[in-house]
Amino acid sequence: MIAKLQCVVLDCADVVELSRFYQSLLGGVVNQPDPRWSLDDGWATLHSDGGFVLAFQRVDDYQPPRWLDPARPQQFHLDLEVKDLDQAQEDVLNMGAALLNEGDGKRSWRIFADPAGHPFCLVRD
């Protein structure tokens, strides 16, 4: 092993807004003191209840990815396990996510974009 994952960093226009979105989705603590990172207007973190850390970095003139547009590809996405796919969909839409692809209703996942445009999937456990 050469390295271990420390965190995943998402570029965005508003680090507070996006960190709060993911806090509502995953739980955890926004901007928990941690000697690995200094927090400021351009950087925020979310320490999830499971120990995983997401970080958020402000980018001037941020351009979100566009689903299935090779000129602005998705760059990455998160798969998030849920018990009730319909309820989870309602919850994330109420939190500001956008539905990108619901499929035919028979799939065990649905694709959304967070408020900064990053795709993520809700996957039924």
Q: Is 120 inside a domain boundary?
A: yes
Residue 62, CB half-sphere, CA atoms under 13 Å: how many? 17
Q: Is 64 inside a domain boundary?
A: no
**pLDDT at residue 3, rounded to an integer:** 67
**Same domain? 52 vs 84:** no
Q: How do residues 56-71 score in pLDDT, each as one tens digit? A: 999 999 999 988 898 9
Q: Is 84 inside a domain boundary?
A: yes
CATH code, 20: 3.30.720
Q: Tell me if the pTM is above 0.75.
A: yes
Q: Is 114 inside a domain boundary?
A: yes
Structural domain total, the chain? 2
Q: Which two tokens stand for residue 79?
A: 């798969």
Each as own residue / partner, the long-range contacts of residues 83-88 (CB below 8 Å, 24 or more positions apart, any chain) are: 83/124, 83/125, 84/124, 85/109, 85/110, 85/122, 85/124, 88/122
Structural domain harbouring 37? 8-58
